[in-house]
Amino acid sequence: MAGYTIYHNPRCSKSRQTLALLEEKGISPDVILYLQTPPDAATLKRLVQQLGLTHPLEMVRNKEAEYRSAGLQADSSAADVIDAMVQYPKLIERPIVVHGKRAVFGRPPENVLTLLD
């Protein structure tokens, strides 16, 4: 099956499990190592929409040290959050799997099954 993309961190067990689940289902997704090739602001805004989120803060790992370094808080603006994720890609929740106009977090990995054709 074509047309799948995973924003992947190979050091993350959930990310590895999600990729393995896709491969089990015969899917060879485009793999974006987002820590090495961070998404730009436009891509992050599109991912927020595809994930069905109301605010980009919902895709931020708020326990990371970079969360504090970026000065993020619960009331941070969407623009500030997007800028922080561009500057600190480690803040991006992982993995994210995209297919067509939809995306899901691979937490738990079985979430990706909702994207299968």
Average pLDDT of span 65-82: 96
Average pLDDT of span 56-67: 96
- What's the pLDDT band for 59 if we cut at 50, 70, 90? very high
- What's the pLDDT band for 1 if we cut at 50, 70, 90? low
The pLDDT value given to residue 117: 67
Determine which one of 6, 7, 12, 46 is catalytic.
12
Average pLDDT of span 24-48: 97
- Measured distance CA(81)–CA(63) in Å, rounded: 14
* Catalytic-residue membership of 12: yes
Strand order in the sheet with 4-8: 30-33, 4-8, 96-99, 102-105
- Measured distance CA(67)–CA(37) in Å, rounded: 19
Q: Is the pLDDT of residue 44 over 80?
A: yes
Helix segments in the chain, DSSP class H: 13-24, 41-51, 65-69, 78-87
Cis peptide bond prior to 95, omega within 30° of 0: yes
Domains in the chain: ranges and CATH: 4-105 (3.40.30.10)
The model carries a pTM of 0.94
Question: Encoding tokens for residue 73?
Answer: 């808080």
